[in-house]
Amino acid sequence: MNVPNNPRQLVDGMEKLSSIPLVYERLNEAMFSQRSNVGQISSIIMQDAGLSARLLRIVNSAYFGFPRRIDTVSRAVMVVGTQQLHDLALATSIVKQFQRIPDRFVTMESFWKHSVACGMVARVIAGLNRESNIERFFVAGILHDVGRLVIYERIPDLADEVFSRTTKAPAPLFRIEQETIGFDHAAVGGALINTWRLPGSLEESVRYHHMPQRAQRYRVEASVVHAADVIAHAMQIGSSGEHCVPPVDGEAWKFLGLKPENLSQIFELVDRQLEDVLKTLITD
């Protein structure tokens, strides 16, 4: 394709990626309907057998650590909450949707490892920060680098050029993307989330995860994802193409009230839960 002028142009016309899973749309409609109840939400989820199985696996995994087994979707909706389960449904649907992208630049396993690790760290930071509905941070972390998949799929020649430039002049990958393409993966991810009509907090946390201070309305969310991305890189869990820790915005850490001593707790928790969560999200 011709070199796109802006991220929106790159995302438009990408049928495979520009449509959000139908089950999620129906779930969204039900969530915003005043007459929705646990039964309706459960029955929408149960119409998708794969989604039901994945959600049950995740609520029974170490990620939640519930002392008793949850056997039915309706019980999961009651225990976890409709909003949280809705967000988890989005996370698992998106991971499924992107699994068939060719792995010329990174393997999908490595890509999702990094994304899921980032989501898990974001969720822990949000919990430490006493944010409400922490699953939305998990979703934001999972989606933060999704723009890279669009770049790899739509403009592979430019992606080749980006990678060849990193070997000549070491710089963070997102800066080389800006120089080579005219915009970076964060802007592409933001445009994709906008076309999916997902919440503004998700769009800003993805769009500004390298520059959280530029977020206009959702600086907390963007700062959480920024910090989570840095930690996931430091732990060297998978990769979306970048192999170094991106530049750290010290103000974001202060803004979140995070302390250096929180980091060891985060490392331990992610190390303990990651394999379980990956299995849950990626296996059918």
Partner 1 sequence: MVVEEPIIDLHGTVLLQKSTVITQNSIKLLRMWGVLEASIDDESASQLVARDITPVAPEVIEGACSIIALLFQHTNQKDPFVAELMRLATNRIVQSKAGQT
Q: Which is nearer to partner 1, 120 or 215 (CB)?
A: 120
String of contacts with partner 1 for each residue 53-72, x by CB under 8 A: -----------xxxx-----
Phi, psi (rounded to 5 degrees) for 133: 45, 70
**In contact, 227 and 252? CB cutoff 8 Å:** yes
Q: Does 248 bind partner 1 (CB under 8 A)?
A: yes
> Cβ of residue 274: shortest distance to partner 1, in angstroms?
13
> Cβ of residue 23: shortest distance to partner 1, in angstroms?
26
Cα 42 to Cα 47: distance, rounded to the nearest angstrom: 9
Whole-angstrom CA distances from 227 to 32, 140, 176 are 31, 12, 21
Q: Where are the beta strands (DSSP E) in 86-193?
A: none
Q: Does 258 bind partner 1 (CB under 8 A)?
A: yes
Q: Does 113 bind partner 1 (CB under 8 A)?
A: no
**In contact, 58 and 280? CB cutoff 8 Å:** yes
Q: Does 267 bind partner 1 (CB under 8 A)?
A: yes
Q: Does 256 bind partner 1 (CB under 8 A)?
A: no
The pair of structure tokens assigned to 205 is 């946390």
Q: Which is nearer to partner 1, 13 or 127 (CB)?
A: 127
> Cβ of residue 214: shortest distance to partner 1, in angstroms?
18
Cα 162 to Cα 166: distance, rounded to the nearest angstrom: 7
Q: Which is nearer to partner 1, 28 or 240 (CB)?
A: 240
| Residue 219, Cβ density class (10 Å: 0-12 exposed, 13-18 middle, ≥19 buried) | buried
Q: Does 81 bind partner 1 (CB under 8 A)?
A: no
Cα 29 to Cα 257: distance, rounded to the nearest angstrom: 36
> Cβ of residue 273: shortest distance to partner 1, in angstroms?
9
String of contacts with partner 1 for each residue 148-187, x by CB under 8 A: ----------------------xxx---------------
> Cβ of residue 127: shortest distance to partner 1, in angstroms?
4
The pair of structure tokens assigned to 259 is 């302390």
Stretch that binds partner 1, among 4-12, 17-25, 69-77, 264-272 (CB under 8 A): 264-272
**In contact, 58 and 92? CB cutoff 8 Å:** yes
Cα 12 to Cα 32: distance, rounded to the nearest angstrom: 27
Q: Does 134 bind partner 1 (CB under 8 A)?
A: yes
- Contact positions vs partner 1 (CB under 8 A): 64-67, 123-124, 127-130, 134, 170-172, 230-231, 233-236, 243-248, 250, 253, 258, 260-261, 263-265, 267, 269
